[in-house]
Structure 1
Amino acid sequence: MKITLTVNATDYPLDVEPRRILADVLREDCRLTGTHLGCEHGVCGACTVLVDGEAVRSCLMLAVQCDGRSVRTVEGLAGADGGPHPLQRAFSAEHALQCGFCTPGFLMLAAGALDADPDLAEHPERVDSLVGSNLCRCTGYAPIRRAILRAAEEQQRLDLQA
């Protein structure tokens, strides 16, 4: 099928088999390898991307389902100036990564949550629930939780200054 994926504000006209998953198309056809495939069953969350602003497991979504929709991957997190996103800075500052395999999924999950909930910093229980939906085998969840809360607080400060 001929589809057009809009990934990180760039259009990718593609001819894909209807059964191909979004994660494979992002990695192989769009050459955006930041989206990782872990379990391929929607359990681990390493493949999380945003589709029309909603966090989805790209291993469970067919690429044809995204025809004409907006997809955002970890490569699209950088700011307009090319600098790191507040989440990326917070993950570094809080040492919220070790091997890094799960990190793109956590970043995209958190980015979607921050976009949807500007008051996330005031609701750490929401962050607990969010962090529990993806798997990490290296760092444990405390540094990831701290990083998301730190980024949420920074985002709140930036919103207040604007």
Structure 2
Amino acid sequence: MQNITHQETLRIGSGQANVALRLLPFINKLNNKYPNMQLELYADANPQILEKLLDYKLDIAFLTGAPTHKDLMILNSFDDDLYMVEPKKEEYNNCLFGYKKDSTHYKFLVEYEKNRGNENFKTIFIENYEVMLGCVKNGMGKAYLSKRIIDKYGYSNNLILTKLPNGMTPKV
């Protein structure tokens, strides 16, 4: 980042989970502290955001995981409780929901299911967490999401939430 007090434009990138949870409060703080600064916001999956950050097309980014690239500095980190969410129906479709094919949570869910011997699932990508949760509730499949997203959209009592055992967390 350039000198924040003299920077005219701040380009911010974020993966979708962080957009839903953290981006708006961050933008509000920036706007209050630097009302004349122009903000440019980019939301995409983590690999694309990381690529833009490393290409200096972004000044700051919210990413899932802890990138270890030598040109990056982690300014703050957040822990999220991640849960597999399933419908309360006894039988439901063998389908995995993800935000995008290369989203961190989706890739982890695929790996987790394959390690359990489930290789014959179908996939649906939905770029909206509320719609994704509604589909899970209706028996269309399962997803892997932050508890804060599940709570934000009011689905905590409508789904089966399974906290996966230690050591079963996404690797990015």
Question: Which of these two proteins has the greater Rg computed from alpha carbons?
Answer: 2
TM-score, normalised to structure 2, is 0.27
Higher relative contact order (CA 8 A, sep 6+): 2
